[in-house]
Amino acid sequence: MGSLDPATVARRFPDGPVSVASARRFVRAALEDVASELVDTAQLLVSELVTNAVLHARTEAEVTVSRLDGRVRVRVADRRPGRSLVRQNCPPYAGTGQGLALVEQLASRYGVDIGDEGKAVWFELWPDGPPPPSSGWGTAAASCPAERTVTLVDVPSALESTCRQHRHAVLRELTLAASAGGPAHVPPEDLAAANDVNNVISACVTAASRDPLPDSGLRSLLLPLPADAAPAVRALRRTLGVAEEAARGERLLTLPALPRSRAFQDWFFDQIVEQLDGGGPTAWTVMPRDPEVSSDELVPWDPGQVRTSRMPTIAADDGNRIIAANGPAAELLGWSPDDLVGRRLTTLIPEHLRRRHTAAFSTMLLTGRTRIVGRSVPLPARHRDGGVVPVRLFIQTQETADGRTVFVAQLAPRATTAPEVPRTVGSARDAARSAAGEAPARVPAGGPSAEGDADTAMSALDRLSLLAELGSRFSDALDLDEGLRRAGHLLTRRLADWCVLDLFTEHDQVDRACVVHRDPRGLRPTAYEGPLPAVSEESRGPLARVLRGAGPLLLTEAPPPEQADNALDRDYRALFHGLGAGSAVVAPLRARRKIFGALTLARATGRRPFTEEDLPLVDDLVHSLALGVDNARLYQDTRSIAERLQRSLLPVLPRVEGLQLAARSAASSTTAQVGGDWYDSFVVPGGDTALVIGDVTGHNLDAAIAMSQLRSMLRGIAVDREEPPAEVLRRLDLANHSLHREATATCVYGLLKGRAPGPWELRHSSAGHLPPLLTTAEGETRYLDEGAGLLLGMDPDMPRRTARHRLPAGSTLLLYTDGLVERRDEPLDEALDRLRRHAAELAREPLDTFCDELMIGLGADSADDIALLAVRPS
């Protein structure tokens, strides 16, 4: 910088947090006649560097400020030369590790000087003109003593980054709280050892992670650590335990770790201690998981995964803000995707659930416990127009490469197929298409092969076994997409490296429905899925020919460029290159004299190529596959009809002065989604309010039809003449016996007699149904099990009884079907006790909240349909 101003000033500051603020004031006073933007930057950087000295060096710090011609040089020195700098690559929103990163970004020049008595970090700020080249950190990288090497196998890089940033953040807050006499007690020697060994571990991990990240997101790390570091690592674990407890109690300015991070950190420290004590390594991927910890390793998240998904999908960050939404989700809720991004998640939550959502979200961040993550939950979503859209929600958490937690939610409209576990959907498809002949990075052909080998010819027995297993794949699948993916996994395990299934849609467009690779650690195959260009008269490539009925066709090389002058042909040629295919067979899917798709099986270059001898087997496979696809589509069409029928039968609840009514209905999360549960409410001619809940045996179209017949007959009988509920059910049972297919069903029919403002009396009779639950405003509960009788369809001549009960003002009467309470291998008494406890806790909540919370708390993952009807006298 030339000769410095002789007015250079320096000051020493003691070891303690108070020194940070004192150093800021000292720098501002020393630079009072310098440009304000330089002063602000100098204050920020010196604050970060003095904080680092307080936390890590734990010695007094000396701050020296020099200036010349408007330029500024600041030097922060400590008295601990043996503790080298620990540099981390942290995102701007990370809670720790910013000091050196900010110096790198904001300073004109920077560096470090290390001597026998201490070290000093310095930076210069130049207001104008190009600064000289920065000297950088030089040889100041933290050293890792190579006395004992710890091997960490299959480390998920995103999760490791999350845990490392969290460790630094929580230790920093604990150190500051302890120095100020905070409530979290930890021995000073443990705190010092924890900070030191945490810095050493982080520096070693950073040095070991310099190579590019594998596609799988997993890598093995070699950490050279001091042989005597085990006691310090144990002290680190104890200290982090104290810090986590303080964070959960909201006594630190940071959140505790989520269960997944805690599980990884336990494994991480166990591996270090055990190997330092002479043990061998154990991979993270083979460790058992608690129920709250997913066993799947998640790739770094990016918005493209949401945008390209065909399932309505929305993603939110740990600040409860929407960060991505796709077209199907936005359309379902009345928005455009761009309008949703940036809004609070509460925008999509009905107003009566917002307060409880905020409380549950905060509890999850503090405790890591959640009621709905990883479960299929029926609940309402808020439409843009203020209405309610019943959906079934499936949420999973993903850790990003830069340490954030993202909540990815799939929304299935209620009474449709429950969402599958989210698939990772990439954004490489367009790049693959645009290559049009230039092969992107090819996926290694090798990989796990549980059965068979593409390099070995199949025996006749193997072929018969493959055909039989392929047929069973669709019979075991709940829907077409699941069946296609199961078939793809089987074919890639036994016959090929890649399996591609293209299907015509109902509008005669072509959709690439499924792409599967035999090695799940390879390039994400779902990057190639989605709509394809139309099949036009100009299409002459192999896929277009097969979609017109040709084949099976044997391809021993990529289609030549002269066959790729059409959009569909160019896409298929790009796919061939993108898969790294050396040979392939493409064959038509044909059933009932109609072609509705194509199957492509590909083997990588270097593997045994497909030959003419393989064509008869592929022909047999596509016949079996076509039959499975056709049956799955017919089943989906039948189910869609039944679902529309069920939705059309859901009644509009009457408006009755002095009464609040609410109802909910949700299909099973695991079955065919069609069943016989129903509810109804209407006002009879005499002015009383009828309440009905029922359940026809079965989960199919027959059950839905029988339900509609019983529901219509019950209304007609109840409106025809005013009779006691027992007599109405007797006449309904007689009418049921007159049907061509008599139904077996349970039912509760009740009449609520009274006028506003009360009193109200319930008269009801039950045909084998679970008893109504009455919950008072004070939270007292009891089941109304009087008036019970036989199921409908058993004996119409058996006498039935009518029971009477007074309903206090503010009480809640709940009618429900067994899907809300019954669980396999659980006594019914325990299930009913659980319902009583939930209802008691919700006694004073608004009626809509009462119903939705019951569905969320008890209806998640239910293997049966659910219907409930609630009424509350005001």
Transcribe 547-610 into DSSP letters: HTT---EEESSPPPGGG--SHHHHHHHHHHHHTTEEEEEEEEEEETTEEEEEEEEEEETTSPPP
Q: Which residues contact 870 (CB under 8 A, 6 or more apart)?
A: 661, 662, 663, 812, 813, 814, 815, 847, 850, 851
Distances (CA, A) of 541 to 25, 357, 418: 74, 53, 37
User: For position 574, which CATH number holds?
Assistant: 3.30.450.40
Q: Are residues 464 and 367 in the same domain?
A: no
Alpha-carbon gap, residue 310 to 226, rounded angstroms: 51
Q: Are residues 633 and 542 in the same domain?
A: yes
Q: Is residue 176 part of a domain?
A: yes
What pLDDT is attached to residue 1?
39
Q: Are residues 733 and 601 in the same domain?
A: no
Q: Is residue 2 part of a domain?
A: no
Q: Are residues 726 and 594 in the same domain?
A: no
Q: Which run of H or E residues covers position 649?
A: helix 615-649
Beta bridge partners of 679: 693
Closest CA to 868 of 284, 390, 290: 390
Q: Calculate the average pLDDT of the chain.
A: 80
Phi, psi of 715 (to 5 degrees): -60, -45
Evaluate whether 696 touches 708 at the Cβ level (below 8 Å). no
Q: Is residue 556 part of a domain?
A: yes
What pLDDT is attached to residue 798?
86
For residue range 579-618, what is the model confidence (pLDDT) as tens digits?
888 888 999 988 777 888 899 998 888 888 888 888 888 8
Q: How far apart are the first and last CA of the chain?
A: 81
Q: Is residue 134 part of a domain?
A: no
Give the pairing type, strands 510-517 and 498-504. Answer: antiparallel
Low-confidence ranges of the chain (pLDDT < 50): 1-5, 91-97, 139-144, 293-299, 416-452, 671-672
Q: Which residues contact 358 (CB under 8 A, 6 or more apart)?
A: 320, 346
User: For position 101, which CATH number holds?
Assistant: 3.30.565.10
Classify burial at 550, counting beta carbons within 10 Å of its beta carbon; exposed 0-12, middle 13-18, buried 19 or more.
middle
Closest CA to 142 of 190, 196, 194: 196
Q: What are the CB-based long-range contacts (under 8 Å, 24+) for 520-523?
A: 520/447, 521/214, 521/215, 521/216, 521/218, 521/447, 522/215, 522/443, 522/444, 522/447, 523/215, 523/428, 523/441, 523/443
CB atoms within 10 A of CB 44: 17
Q: Is residue 800 part of a domain?
A: yes
Alpha-carbon gap, residue 856 to 859, rounded angstroms: 6
**3-state DSSP: the chain helix, strand, coil percent, rounded to 5?**
40, 25, 40
What pLDDT is attached to residue 166?
86
Q: Are residues 774 and 703 in the same domain?
A: yes
Beta bridge partners of 604: 581
Q: Is residue 294 part of a domain?
A: no
Among 365, 383, 413, the domain-final residue is: 413
Alpha-carbon gap, residue 497 to 291, rounded angstroms: 33
Evaluate whether 165 touches 149 at the Cβ level (below 8 Å). no
Distances (CA, A) of 845 to 347, 352, 662, 757, 773: 21, 9, 13, 20, 16
What pLDDT is attached to residue 514?
83
What pTM does this model have? 0.58
Dihedral sign from CA coordinates of 362, 365, 367, 373:
positive
Q: Is residue 421 part of a domain?
A: no
Among 227, 255, 286, the domain-final residue is: 286
Alpha-carbon gap, residue 694 to 594, rounded angstroms: 42
For Cα atoms 209, 214, 220, give the angle at the middle one, nearest 5 degrees: 50
Alpha-carbon gap, residue 640 to 642, rounded angstroms: 5
Q: Are residues 159 and 277 in the same domain?
A: yes
Q: Are residues 779 and 804 in the same domain?
A: yes
Alpha-carbon gap, residue 530 to 528, rounded angstroms: 7
Total tally of structural domains belonging to the chain:
5
Strands, DSSP E only, in 157-234? 218-225
What pLDDT is attached to residue 110?
87
Q: What is the DSSP string of 284-300?
A: GGGS---TTS-SSPPPP
User: For position 400, which CATH number holds?
Assistant: 3.30.450.20
Q: Are residues 171 and 197 in the same domain?
A: yes
What pLDDT is attached to residue 448?
38
Q: Are residues 407 and 433 in the same domain?
A: no
For residue range 785-829, what is the model confidence (pLDDT) as tens digits?
999 999 988 888 888 999 999 999 999 999 999 989 988 778 999
Among 387, 413, 439, the domain-final residue is: 413
Q: Are residues 675 and 820 in the same domain?
A: yes
Q: Are residues 628 and 654 in the same domain?
A: no
Domain containing 350: what range? Answer: 304-413
Q: Are residues 678 and 790 in the same domain?
A: yes
What does the CA dihedral 368, 373, 375, 377 come to, rounded to 10 degrees?
Answer: 120
Distances (CA, A) of 260 to 156, 317, 348, 530, 766: 12, 16, 27, 32, 47
Alpha-carbon gap, residue 73 to 110, rounded angstroms: 9
Q: Is residue 418 part of a domain?
A: no
Evaluate whether 762 touches 807 at the Cβ level (below 8 Å). yes
